[in-house]
Amino acid sequence: MADKKQNVTDHTKKYIKLFKEIIFHYHPQFKNLPESQAMALKWPNNYKVERLVEQSIAIAGGYRCTDSEHCDFSDGTEAKTASIRVNAVRPGLNSHTGEISNVQTAGGGQKEGGLRVVIYNPHQDQLLYYFLPKKFWKNHITIHPSSGIGKIMFTYHKLTGRIQKLEGYEKSSFLALARARK
């Protein structure tokens, strides 16, 4: 039971971080609106935070949300949020896994283009930003054995602060991620 409570707490921390660092700065329903911001911080789990991040990316990047089956934006890219797990791969280790989910359907259909990824790092209480071109990520898909849905698994090393698999695709800020071009 304590593990489930920990997951809820980590999930809520992720949402609060996304609100404070992205949504409050870019989304018109929250930008410069203290009452809306206060409500979001009080009940972060009542919002479709991933959707708000997606809309914020489109606003900051200067393109439209299309909500197509295989891409979120008019430039053919897709927004994804992910988290690094708090628990190590094995007790006593410094490696922690994470995943970028739903990059491929059970039927084999993949997202159309690059992935604009925001990863919450609970170990540093920070957001990490990556733009993954399709030529990179299409070769790193892991298929879930029962659902058949594809995801990209990665490992964060707590001592080095690195996600080696994604090195070279980092962006310095949310704005840099939103404005990255295929």
pLDDT in tens, 33-52: 999 999 999 999 999 999 99
What angle, 0 to 180 degrees and rounded to 10, lies between the N-to-C axes of helices 49-61 and 2-18? 20
C-alpha–C-alpha distance, residues 77 and 66, integer Å: 10
**Residue-level pLDDT at 1:** 39
Q: Which residues of the chain have pLDDT under 50?
A: 1-6
Task: Identify the residue whose tokens are 């606003």.
Answer: 59
CA distances from residue 115 to 81, 83, 102, 130, 180 in whole angstroms, order as listed: 10, 15, 11, 8, 10
**Residue-level pLDDT at 8:** 52
**Residue-level pLDDT at 67:** 80
Contact 152, 44 (CB under 8 A): no
Burial class (CB in 10 A: 0-12, 13-18, 19+), 164: exposed
pLDDT tens-digit profile of 136-151? 999 999 999 999 999 9
Cβ partners under 8 Å of residue 88, min gap 6: 94, 95, 96, 158
- Smallest CA-to-CA distance from 112 within 85, 65, 75 is with 75
pLDDT tens-digit profile of 5-21? 445 577 899 999 999 99
C-alpha–C-alpha distance, residues 86 and 44, integer Å: 20
Q: Which pTM does this prediction carry? A: 0.91
Cβ-defined contacts of 52-55 (< 8 Å, 24+): 52/18, 52/19, 52/23, 52/27, 53/18, 53/22, 53/23, 53/79, 53/81, 53/118, 54/79, 55/27
**Residue-level pLDDT at 11:** 80
